Structure 1
Amino acid sequence: MRRATNNFVRACITFALVLLPFLGGQGIAQAHAIVISTSPAGWEVLGTSPAEVSLTFSEPVELGLATVRILGPAGDTITTAAPVHAVDRPEVLVVSVPRALSDGSYTVNWQVTSADTHPVRGTFVFSVGQPSKFAATSPAEAHTGTDRAVELSYGTARWLSFAGLALLAGAAFFVVWCQTTPVAGRRIRVLLWSGWWSLLAATVLVPLLYGPYATGRSLTAAADPSLIAGTAGTRLGLAMLARLLLLGLVGAALLRLLRRAEPAEATDLQRRRRGAAVLAATCALALTWSAASHNAAGALTGPAVVADAAHLTAMAVWLGGLVVIGAVVRSADASAMRVAVLRFSQVALMSVLVLVVTGVFQSWRLVGTPSALVGTSYGRVLLVKVALIVVLVAFGAAARRWVQRHYGFPVVTPSDRRRAARGPGHRQVRRFGAVVAAEAGIAALVLGLTAVLVNTSSAAAELASQSRPAEVVTPVPGQPVIADFDAGGAAGRGKVAALVTPGASGSSEVHLAVLDEGGRPKEVAEVRATLSHPERSPGPLTVPLRYSGVPGHYISDALSLPVSGRWEMSLKVRTSDVDEAIVHVSVGIP
């Protein structure tokens, strides 16, 4: 057993060393749709009323729960058609404006769901004729965050679905692969049906709660027919429908398995066929998670989705099997346990290997850099999950040593046969059961953290919107506001200077200069800016910047802001493909 463990560790190290260089060219999964452009553009002043409003995203977006609301100068809601995709362009969202808009400034509040099922919201302003003195704001129409009760309920339902999958898959695989005969005892039957019913309940609850979760509404909206219909048209809704159909087939197969009464020991060929069938069914169920997760931002048949499904399958077989071992270890006879526990020990070893291989691949895609492990919520939760898995593996190693000592010895002499028939003592079995129970408890925490990770923005996406507090400087008219930034490494540090001055026709001009630590102009990969007002702005408003031709200098001219005074500017400075920093400064708008 020790040799197998050493070989396993060597395989993991070899895999990491061989795979990581090739993953460098894979790119980091962003996981969230990002607005590339809008029509009308942000802050654009149109001569005539637009016939439609469109938004172009970085990836295809869902229509099911998408909303685009246009607020007029007086705060009234402009009636529009339902959002649709542009012809052959699922990344473009179009809303027709059926009537001519009067002169003034209009605020567009939009909300969509990304391919990974996370809601994305934003705001921009455009004007027709002459900009209004104040932009429209309407508390009733402004986007809000997710309700805490909805978020907790939705996360609990996701955890229940993972727990149900683990119980169902782990118990089924234990019966057909680890036992000498494919006959489920009373305790295993309870675990099998508990897993099936738990997964069924979660599959019904998740789409009901997803509508309020994605739209920021309360729990009472879960029964809203319009939300249910909208969820049914999303990728998550379709995945839940597919899972319901699969659960129906699995339930029929489960009834057939539990009615089987085969006293004879299954042959190796029968075991392989039944084991393969259970693994295939588990993989099919796991794909209903993978198709609506962080890994689904690309193609549904891509390596990320396949790796995620393999990861969930290995986790379910291993963690569910632990619960089964803990449930039957005291009730089974010594000869049956001698076979079953040894077989499960091998299954656990292979499951951990698959978890390590797929986990490294997923972490590289969704985290990207070592600094993101401690600098983002996703990375910190992932670290806690990895720590728990390390503890789980340590408990598993102790259990495997116990199994080898009490069941793994060769039966040669009559004394060995008597020892094998007698099995370990009651006290020793109780100690082993305590170790397995501790493993099962830690496994429940791992499943909980898995549900949290599913609902958490990936580290790469979080870095793109993460705010790093900076010293707030009171703006002085006509004077630039300077702030330090640190995107990581010596080449990632510098300063950014922001200045807002009066422009033509009563508009404003924004000048941004990126400097190195010595105050010299610094070339960077990208600079983005947004403006928000603590009272007058419904959300961050994008500042359209263009490169001036001078190194490190960016300009936004003809910027029509709805109100003068003190505004908060958020600046994102990206120094490389993955390194970026976000700083906040206060600027005075003349």
Structure 2
Amino acid sequence: MNNFARVCIAFVLALLPVLGVQGVAGAHAVVISTSPAGWAVLGTSPAEVSLTFSEPVELGLATVRMLGPAGDTITTAAPAHAAGRPEVLVVAVPRALSDGTYTVNWQVTSADTHPVHGAFVFSVGQPSTSAALPAPAQTHTSADRAVTLSYGLARWLSFAGLALLAGAAFFVVWCQTGPAVGRRVRVLLASGWWSLLAATVLVLLLYGPYATGRPLTAAADLSLVANTAGTRLGLAVLSRLLLLGLVGVVLLRFLRRADESEATDRQRRRRGAAVLGTTSVLALTWSAASHSGAGDLAWLAVVADAAHLTAMAVWLGGLVVVGVVVRSADALAMRVAVPRFSQVALVSVLVLVATGLFQSWRLVGTPSALIGTSYGRVLLGKVAVAAVLLALGALARRWVQRHYGFPVVSPSDRRRAARGPGDRQVRRFGAVVVAEAVIAGLVLGLTAVLVGTSSAAAELAEREQAAEVAQPVPGEPVIADFDTGGAAGRGKIAVVVAPGASGGNEVHLAVLDERGRQKDVAEVGATLSHPERSPAPLTVPLRYSGLPGHYISDALSLPVSGRWDMSLKIRTSDVDEANVHVSVGIP
């Protein structure tokens, strides 16, 4: 069994320990407390509104918007950090607020660069009796499909550009013989540099609309670009642009002098180290603004992620170069360059396995997370595609060993080495390499998807938080999705039972569309039942408040405390109807 086969087996076995350990990565920023508290009724107008998060948040793209009882926007100061507390976001309220219920919508960028948003409400004097019930769905909208697709393509192009640039550069300084740099390789180097430059600019322009839920046209908003530049991702992208400028100057200088003389072994090692070092520094601009930059062991995770990306770029980019060289290089050049790259590929795979295992442990952690989260499923897909890539790599390595790995001792060996493999055999090898390069592009695509997907640990933590919120808390809103199946039949319904005590209560129902806007429907009905104390469901008498999608029951008497089950009927047309069940708590 050769070394490459052992690496392939290790690649599969390396995943097994992941199923038995717990990850340590943190989740997104979560609101721990607000001031005023949610659903609080204040005697006087507050001078400021503050939110305390579970981790530091950035100000670059942070927004806090306050809506009044009639849905009007209340002018506030720009968000700021509390003195010495980067996890606390403060917004000053410049004028006294009149009596009524106010909604505070907020949006921040988490430490892993993913946008997080939500809402809470409070009242001054007394709650509004006719205002629409606010809900978290009425906050900031997610990025539309055009922005999401464009931003994803820009991320993929940035990875592809890095792979072309780093792979071609390392192949030139480490693998090839002779001073000449072929025209095709020069084209690959230039394509990699320009692709990475263009993709980096696109990421800078598109991240603002992606994080704030604005349309694609907002990419031209210079103020939004300036705000993006103040975020962790913005600083990383600007650093990448600066590094690319320096790399471009060095690349031009190298290509002008590359044909002067053949490099010595010392120069080859020095140049190889310089290419790897530069690629690693470029890779850090991704790692520092990704999942790796947040949570415990962040410094080690950033280093591991940068090493992972560097190994991937050198290997996958080198595959493209080999696919070009095997059709144009002579037998002697191939006898030296191809085996050298085969060794590079082997080392790259070892690095990918080690760093991938660490990342999987940190960002996934448990067996259920692998198949129960979006991140885990995409990761499994990437592993499956990478396994196919490794299998093709094993075939390519066997071909290299067969045609270039034999010792040159006898005159016939020298003639065989000078002659090289036949054209037909080279074409077969080239076909395998091209297939590897195509699959490598898919691996880069899945990598780009992983970068834009919440980590499994974060997704599970959010589910746990949602489950806690879903427990019936007296006086707190309960929100549920509905789908009547018809046109525009999806939305949310929010319920508040106030004050949430045994005896007389007031029920508020708010029907919202998918974008969180108030939605009128044909009919809304509700019943309440107690699993132990209610012999039959109690009908909740609802009246239309006059505002779209808002219904009120003025005097509902609940005789006993405990957990009550509410059945809601939502009808959006004559034939489209859905039933939703939620729980409300009465102490």
Q: TM-score, normalised by structure 1?
A: 0.79
Asked whether 1:396 is paired with 2:376, we answer no
Asked whether 1:52 is paired with 2:51, we answer no
Alignment partner of 1:439 out of 436, 440, 446: 436
Asked whether 1:534 is paired with 2:508, we answer no
| Structure 1 pair 129–88 and aligned structure 2 pair: CA distance change class (3 A) | same
Q: Secondary structure at the match of 2:327?
A: coil
| Structure 1 pair 351–148 and aligned structure 2 pair: CA distance change class (3 A) | same
| Structure 1 pair 134–414 and aligned structure 2 pair: CA distance change class (3 A) | farther
The CA RMSD measured in Å over matched residues stands at 3.5
Asked whether 1:190 is paired with 2:187, we answer yes
Tell me the equivalent position of 2:522: none
Contact 2:133 2:510 in 1 (8 A): no
Cα deviation digits, residues 21-49 of structure 1 (max 9, x gap) = 8x75xx53234111111111111111111
- Distance in 2, matches of 1:409 and 1:328, equals 21
Work out the percentage of aligned pairs sharing the same amino acid. 75
Cα deviation digits, residues 38-92 of structure 1 (max 9, x gap) = 1111111111111110011111111011100010111111100000011111111
- Distance in 2, matches of 1:507 and 1:185, equals 85
Asked whether 1:319 is paired with 2:296, we answer no
Asked whether 1:351 is paired with 2:348, we answer yes
Cα deviation digits, residues 165-214 of structure 1 (max 9, x gap) = 00000000000010123532100000000000000001111010111111
Tell me the equivalent position of 1:30: 26
Matched AA of 1:3: N
Asked whether 1:272 is paired with 2:282, we answer no
Tell me the equivalent position of 1:85: 81
- Distance in 2, matches of 1:292 and 1:323, equals 28
Contact 2:27 2:461 in 1 (8 A): no
Cα deviation digits, residues 105-130 of structure 1 (max 9, x gap) = 11110001111111101011111111
Alignment partner of 2:377 out of 372, 377, 380: 380
- Distance in 1, matches of 2:410 and 2:514, equals 84
- Distance in 2, matches of 1:329 and 1:353, equals 25
Deviation at 1:144? 1.3
- Distance in 1, matches of 2:247 and 2:513, equals 55
- Distance in 1, matches of 2:564 and 2:381, equals 35
Q: Secondary structure at the match of 1:243?
A: helix
Deviation at 1:135? 4.2
Tell me the equivalent position of 1:3: 2
| Structure 1 pair 359–135 and aligned structure 2 pair: CA distance change class (3 A) | farther
Asked whether 1:121 is paired with 2:120, we answer no
Alignment partner of 1:156 out of 150, 153, 158: 153
| Structure 1 pair 323–269 and aligned structure 2 pair: CA distance change class (3 A) | same
| Structure 1 pair 301–329 and aligned structure 2 pair: CA distance change class (3 A) | same
Tell me the equivalent position of 1:463: 460
Deviation at 1:301? 6.5
- Distance in 1, matches of 2:455 and 2:307, equals 19
- Bigger CA drift: 174-183 or 287-296? 174-183
Asked whether 1:408 is paired with 2:405, we answer yes
Tell me the equivalent position of 1:217: 214
Asked whether 1:146 is paired with 2:146, we answer no
- Distance in 1, matches of 2:220 and 2:309, equals 30
Contact 1:377 1:459 in 2 (8 A): yes
Matched AA of 2:35: S
Tell me the equivalent position of 1:98: 94
Contact 1:35 1:58 in 2 (8 A): yes
Q: Secondary structure at the match of 1:433?
A: helix
| Structure 1 pair 232–448 and aligned structure 2 pair: CA distance change class (3 A) | same
- Distance in 1, matches of 2:504 and 2:460, equals 32
User: Which runs of 5 or more structure 1 residues have no equivalent in the other structure?
Assistant: 482-497, 511-530, 541-561, 571-583
- Distance in 2, matches of 1:506 and 1:124, equals 26
Matched AA of 1:363: S
| Structure 1 pair 394–87 and aligned structure 2 pair: CA distance change class (3 A) | same
Cα deviation digits, residues 435-461 of structure 1 (max 9, x gap) = 000000000011111111111111122
Asked whether 1:181 is paired with 2:178, we answer yes
Q: Secondary structure at the match of 1:145?
A: coil
Matched AA of 1:232: A
Matched AA of 2:54: S
Map 1:289-368; keep pairs closer than 5 Å. 289-298=286-295, 302-368=299-365
Matched AA of 1:81: A
- Distance in 2, matches of 1:416 and 1:253, equals 41
Deviation at 1:371? 1.0
- Distance in 2, matches of 1:568 and 1:147, equals 38
| Structure 1 pair 18–119 and aligned structure 2 pair: CA distance change class (3 A) | closer
- Distance in 1, matches of 2:505 and 2:423, equals 82
Tell me the equivalent position of 2:70: 74
Deviation at 1:273? 0.8
Contact 2:24 2:296 in 1 (8 A): no
Cα deviation digits, residues 460-488 of structure 1 (max 9, x gap) = 22223349999xxxx9x9xxx9xxxxxxx
| Structure 1 pair 182–63 and aligned structure 2 pair: CA distance change class (3 A) | farther
Matched AA of 1:378: Y
- Distance in 1, matches of 2:564 and 2:286, equals 39
- Distance in 2, matches of 1:346 and 1:411, equals 19
Q: Secondary structure at the match of 1:121?
A: strand
Tell me the equivalent position of 1:243: 240
Tell me the equivalent position of 2:106: 110
Deviation at 1:306? 0.6
Q: TM-score, normalised by structure 2?
A: 0.80
- Distance in 1, matches of 2:92 and 2:374, equals 38
Q: Secondary structure at the match of 1:275?
A: helix
| Structure 1 pair 38–67 and aligned structure 2 pair: CA distance change class (3 A) | same
- Bigger CA drift: 154-163 or 132-141? 132-141
Deviation at 1:585? 4.5
Matched AA of 2:157: L
Contact 2:8 2:390 in 1 (8 A): no
Asked whether 1:254 is paired with 2:251, we answer yes
- Distance in 1, matches of 2:329 and 2:281, equals 31
Cα deviation digits, residues 405-426 of structure 1 (max 9, x gap) = 0111110000000000000000
Tell me the equivalent position of 2:168: 171
- Distance in 1, matches of 2:373 and 2:10, equals 30
- Distance in 2, matches of 1:129 and 1:468, equals 31
Q: Secondary structure at the match of 2:87?
A: strand
Contact 1:106 1:135 in 2 (8 A): no
Contact 1:536 1:563 in 2 (8 A): no
User: Which runs of 5 or more structure 2 residues have no equivalent in the other structure?
Assistant: 479-494, 518-549, 557-562, 567-579
- Bigger CA drift: 500-509 or 284-293? 500-509
| Structure 1 pair 389–55 and aligned structure 2 pair: CA distance change class (3 A) | same
| Structure 1 pair 78–333 and aligned structure 2 pair: CA distance change class (3 A) | same
